[in-house]
């Protein structure tokens, strides 16, 4: 079996967010980069678990990015995987990124393509579905459980008021959500081994981008806290009614 796990480079959640060039570009100065959490904690770890169960499994990682993404993909390799592929392109267009992943996946003949449910910077949750469409494969989104018996996958995901269980025959594309696996920390053996694992750089296929970023904006600043004396119930009611519009 061959598995491809999609890895994204995202800003650390503690990073200070700022924009440049008239709010059209993200300011990367001083930003600490991490593996996108749902890619790492759920998609990659579940793929590693499958490889541990069947050592004959081939596990590859893929990212679309430039050379500054190499440290992130190396960190991902420290958790597991046989090699990584970096498509040498810089784009924030979902269709463009999905097309690059699909091109590699089609050439590699993978049985499973894992993505995280979404990236923490754009929250688009669109790559998995696009990859599946481009490959003409079944797609299960927001999976919380994944079991494999031969080529038959049993996948669970949360829906409104309950749980949905689907049975799908490989190959397929799946986006991973909380519950699919437990977070792991790379051990020293994994960290040392990741330094020598292959990281293949490929040039992107020719694809038109469908979207451009017009501008970024920060959320409005939070208003200050108003303290009301516990005995002044009338003032509290007035504030809730007139300002907070809560009652």
Distance CA 85, CA 61 (A): 6
Q: What average pLDDT score do residues 10-33 get?
A: 90
Would you say residue 224 lies in a domain? no
The Cβ of residue 240 has, within 10 Å, a number of other Cβ atoms equal to: 13
Mean pLDDT value across residues 209-234: 86
Q: C-alpha 158: how far from its chain's center?
A: 18
Can you give the pTM of this predicted structure? 0.87
Reported as a pLDDT band with limits 50, 70 and 90, residue 26 is confident
Assigned domain for 237 exists = no
- What average pLDDT score do residues 11-28 get? 89
Q: Any idea what the CATH number is for the domain that residue 11 is in?
A: 3.40.50.620
* 209-221 pLDDT per residue, tens: 999 888 998 888 8
Q: Give the count of domains, the chain.
A: 1
Residue 179 scores a pLDDT above 90:
yes
Reported confidence tier of residue 230, pLDDT bands at 50, 70, 90? confident
Which is it for strands 139-149 and 152-159: parallel, antiparallel or unpaired?
antiparallel
- pLDDT at 91 (0 to 100): 92
Q: Is residue 243 part of a domain?
A: no
pLDDT in tens, 34-65: 999 999 999 999 999 999 999 999 999 999 99
Instruction: Evaluate whether residue 95 is within a structural domain.
Output: yes
Mean pLDDT over 192-214 rounds to 93
Q: Is residue 228 part of a domain?
A: no
Residues in CB range of 24: below 8 A, 6 or more apart: 213, 214, 215, 216
> Which residue segment(s) compose the domain that 134 sits in?
2-219
User: Residue 240: inside a domain, yes or no?
Assistant: no
Domain contains 125: yes
Q: Is residue 241 part of a domain?
A: no
154-179 mean pLDDT: 95
For 28-96, the DSSP string reads -TTPPEEE-HHIIIIIIHHHHHHHHH-TT-EEEEEEEE-GGGHHHHHHHHHHS-SEEEEEE-----HHH
């Amino acid at each position: 079996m061959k598995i491809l796990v999609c890895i994204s480079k995202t800003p650390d959640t503690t990073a200070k967010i700022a924009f440049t060039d008239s709010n059209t570009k993200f300011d990367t100065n001083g930003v600490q980069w991490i593996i996108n959490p749902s890619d790492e904690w759920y998609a990659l770890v579940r793929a590693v678990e499958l490889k541990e169960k069947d050592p004959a499994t081939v596990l590859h990682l893929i990212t679309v990015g430039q050379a500054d993404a190499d440290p992130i993909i190396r960190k991902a390799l420290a958790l597991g995987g046989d090699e990584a592929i970096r498509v040498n392109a810089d784009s924030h267009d979902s269709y463009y990124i999905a097309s690059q992943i699909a091109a590699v996946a089609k050439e590699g003949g993978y049985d499973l393509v894992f993505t995280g449910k979404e990236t923490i910077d754009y929250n688009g949750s669109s790559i998995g579905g696009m990859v599946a469409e481009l490959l003409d494969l079944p797609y299960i989104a927001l999976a919380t459980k994944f079991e494999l018996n031969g080529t038959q996958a049993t996948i669970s995901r949360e829906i409104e008021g309950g749980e949905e269980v689907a049975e799908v025959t490989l190959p397929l594309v799946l986006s991973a959500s909380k519950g699919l696996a437990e977070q792991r920390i790379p051990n020293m053996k994994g960290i040392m081994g990741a330094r020598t694992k292959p990281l293949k750089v490929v040039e992107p296929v020719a694809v038109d981008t469908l979207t451009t970023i017009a501008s970024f904006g920060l959320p409005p600043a939070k208003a200050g806290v108003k303290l009301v004396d516990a005995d002044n119930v009338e003032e509290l009611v007035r504030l809730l009614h007139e300002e907070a519009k809560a009652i």
